Chains A and B, each alone.
Chain A
Amino acid sequence: MRKPPKQAALLGALMLTLGQWSAPSYGQHSDALELYQASLAATCANCHGTAGHGVQHGGMPLINNMRSDQMLTILLEYKTGARSGTIMPQLCKGYTDEQLAVIAQQLGGKLR
């Protein structure tokens, strides 16, 4: 998928940062960091399923088979208003870019 250079750069920077991201301040403690990431992504589970596994034919758009980079692009588009929707533009504006990146990393399939 081709993206405008600026957006690609932002995505790249966010995805790269996640590798060594320590915020809030878990330092080297990987289990604590993973718990933080899982609990942040769990704020999406009410509508999109535990761990992003939504109910099939449940009536809610599924994110089950989305890649992390696609998901982050979409979440950021909702946040900036570039993409329209009913509730997602309103919810995405409540998260920081870093939080959206953690969520996308957590719930999306990883880049190969």
Chain B
Amino acid sequence: MSTIANRRQFIIQSIAGLSLFSGGLTSVKASIRKAEIVVIGGGYGGATAAKYLRLFSRNAARVTLIEPNTSFISCPLSNLVISQSCKLSQLTISYANLSNRHGINVIQDSVTSIDPDSKRIFLHSGQVLAYDKLIVSPGVSLLMNSIQGLADANQAGVTLQAWKAGSETLALQKQLHSMRNGGTFAISIPEAPYRCPPAPYERASLVAEYLKHHKPKSKVLILDANQDITSKGALFKKAWATNYPGLIEYLPNHNVVAVDAKTKRITLEVDDDIQADVLNILPAMSAGEIAVKTGLANSNGRWVNVNFLNFESTAQKDIHVLGDSIQVAYAMPKSGHMANQQAKVAAAAIVAELNDWEINPSPVLANTCYSFTSAREAIHVASVHQYDAHEQTFKPVPGAGGLSPEPSALEGSYGWGWAHNIWADCLA
């Protein structure tokens, strides 16, 4: 059976990786050495989970990571690629360290289906993997059918999302580059929750900066289904007024219901149709496709409810779900940073469980998010979330966290510092 073959291929290498512990290994149970732990998705959540399962188990856990892409490409900072402020290659990182340095069995493939009853995973290549513990971290799925005509417009190459970094990021950069001076770059935002709340506003800022220098008669039109900017609102508005007067038009309560590929017309729920030159239309989002397909999306059929102590799905035992796919706790953003933090809580809980140790009853999550208001300057939002045993959820600590006072170059350099360090924490 392919699973057995796969096990044989899995050569435990001598690990020169980082050690988190000072003392020796005293009581690691055999069960953790025998358990097959599989992680689906090598993004901020999944890559971190795979690495920290190895670190927290002192390299005792057997970990397989399944990821369809050849390299990790960061969504955070990818708006800088659209405005030609950095290159996509600067945000692209190999998965090699996860296998070479951490002994993770990295399989480049996609998952066709999961059978939770027999605890098996079916891959696109035909390979079948058995698991004892499964971590599902598939990001979001874009609901193309939520906007009439969007699937066709995408197919025709007229509309783009670029909400997963990669080829679409470059395609959107190209559309912006080719746009006439005097054109309109429209970005539409679905009702929250969606992946990365401040990202559409960051994108608008950076596109406006590009237009200011290259096509000053043009404008950015933001069509927001929400009542107001969903994150860092006052800071974005101030940056727009200061840096890009007349270049950004912000329309709240403007929900896009249809788009026409031929005429480039956008139909709104409450206002007259709008025509634009570049149509960056973001539809509503849900948990990643494989999570929905496996029946894990038990919150409105869109998001996955989890036990916040170990991020185990409430729909299926031994399937843990991370990152953008979950039904978040109050004030918990769908961010890469948060996915990385959740991954560590889940990894520690799985290692504890397989060793028959008590699971940490009071985990902590921190969130940090830098948004660039220009190629140089950034703003942040931060929060700390402590687990509340009584309410069985994470709650932001009152009085902690907060925002930047204003955009600054110092925080712009911290934004890059954050990126270099979190990429290393996930992948190095």
Interface residues, chain A, with chain B CB atoms under 8 Å away = 24-26, 29-32, 34-36, 38-51, 53-55, 58-61, 86-87, 90-95, 99
Describe A's contact surface by its main secondary structure.
helix
CB-based contact B18/A53 at 8 Å: yes
How long is the Cα–Cα vector from A13 to B191 in the complex, in angstroms?
Answer: 49
Residue B235 is within 8 A (CB to CB) of chain A in the complex? no
Q: What are 8 inter-chain pairs, A to B, with CB distance below 8 A?
A: A24-B361, A35-B360, A43-B344, A49-B425, A50-B55, A50-B424, A86-B414, A94-B396
CB-based contact B358/A46 at 8 Å: no
Closest to B426 in A: A46
How long is the Cα–Cα vector from A87 to B368 in the complex, in angstroms?
Answer: 8
Q: A24-B362, A49-B421, A51-B19 are contacts. A87–B414 as well, Cβ < 8 Å?
A: yes
Query: Smallest Cβ distance from B59 to chain A, in angstroms?
Result: 14
Query: Smallest Cβ distance from B226 to chain A, in angstroms?
Result: 24
CB-based contact A43/B380 at 8 Å: no
CB-based contact B382/A87 at 8 Å: yes
How long is the Cα–Cα vector from A86 to B382 in the complex, in angstroms?
Answer: 10
Contacts of B421 in A (CB 8 A): 45-49, 54-55, 58, 60
Query: Smallest Cβ distance from B273 to chain A, in angstroms?
Result: 43
Residue B420 is within 8 A (CB to CB) of chain A in the complex? yes
Q: A40-B364, A47-B368, A50-B428 are contacts. A94–B422 as well, Cβ < 8 Å?
A: no
CB-based contact B56/A35 at 8 Å: yes
Residue B127 is within 8 A (CB to CB) of chain A in the complex? no
Contacts of A34 in B (CB 8 A): 21-23
Query: Smallest Cβ distance from A13 to chain B, in angstroms?
Result: 21
Contacts of A54 in B (CB 8 A): 421
Contact for B18 among A31, A50, A58, A61, CB less than 8 A: A50
Contacts of A92 in B (CB 8 A): 400
How long is the Cα–Cα vector from A54 to B21 in the complex, in angstroms?
Answer: 17
Query: Smallest Cβ distance from B427 to chain A, in angstroms?
Result: 10
Contact for A59 among B404, B408, B416, CB less than 8 A: B416
Q: A91-B384, A93-B384 are contacts. A46–B400 as well, Cβ < 8 Å?
A: no
Q: A46-B418, A53-B18 are contacts. A39–B425 as well, Cβ < 8 Å?
A: no
**Using a CB-CB cutoff of 8 Å, which residues 288-345 of chain B contact chain A?**
337, 340-341, 344-345
Contacts of B28 in A (CB 8 A): 31
Contacts of B341 in A (CB 8 A): 43, 46
Contact for A86 among B21, B366, B380, B383, CB less than 8 A: B380
The interface bits of chain B over 17-41 (1 if a CB of A lies within 8 angstroms of the residue's CB, else 0) are 0111111011110000000000000
How long is the Cα–Cα vector from A42 to B418 in the complex, in angstroms?
Answer: 14
How long is the Cα–Cα vector from A2 to B399 in the complex, in angstroms?
Answer: 30
How long is the Cα–Cα vector from A87 to B357 in the complex, in angstroms?
Answer: 34
Residue B52 is within 8 A (CB to CB) of chain A in the complex? yes
CB-based contact A31/B27 at 8 Å: yes
Query: Smallest Cβ distance from A47 to chain B, in angstroms?
Result: 5
Query: Smallest Cβ distance from B246 to chain A, in angstroms?
Result: 30
CB-based contact A60/B382 at 8 Å: no
Residue B138 is within 8 A (CB to CB) of chain A in the complex? no
CB-based contact A60/B360 at 8 Å: no
Contacts of A55 in B (CB 8 A): 417, 420-421, 424
CB-based contact B410/A38 at 8 Å: no
CB-based contact A58/B417 at 8 Å: yes
CB-based contact A45/B366 at 8 Å: no
A31-B26, A31-B355, A38-B348 known, 7 other contacts, Cβ within 8 Å: A36-B360, A42-B348, A43-B341, A58-B420, A86-B414, A90-B382, A94-B400
CB-based contact B358/A26 at 8 Å: yes
Residue B67 is within 8 A (CB to CB) of chain A in the complex? no
CB-based contact B422/A46 at 8 Å: yes
Contacts of A59 in B (CB 8 A): 413-414, 416-417, 420
Query: Smallest Cβ distance from B54 to chain A, in angstroms?
Result: 11
How long is the Cα–Cα vector from A43 to B384 in the complex, in angstroms?
Answer: 10
Contact for B363 among A30, A31, A39, CB less than 8 A: A39
Residue B397 is within 8 A (CB to CB) of chain A in the complex? yes
Residue B252 is within 8 A (CB to CB) of chain A in the complex? no
Q: A59-B414, A60-B421, A90-B382 are contacts. A32–B352 as well, Cβ < 8 Å?
A: yes
How long is the Cα–Cα vector from A58 to B414 in the complex, in angstroms?
Answer: 9
Residue B386 is within 8 A (CB to CB) of chain A in the complex? yes
Contact for B425 among A30, A50, A93, CB less than 8 A: A50
Contact for A24 among B340, B360, B366, B397, CB less than 8 A: B360
Query: Smallest Cβ distance from B86 to chain A, in angstroms?
Result: 13
CB-based contact A39/B420 at 8 Å: no
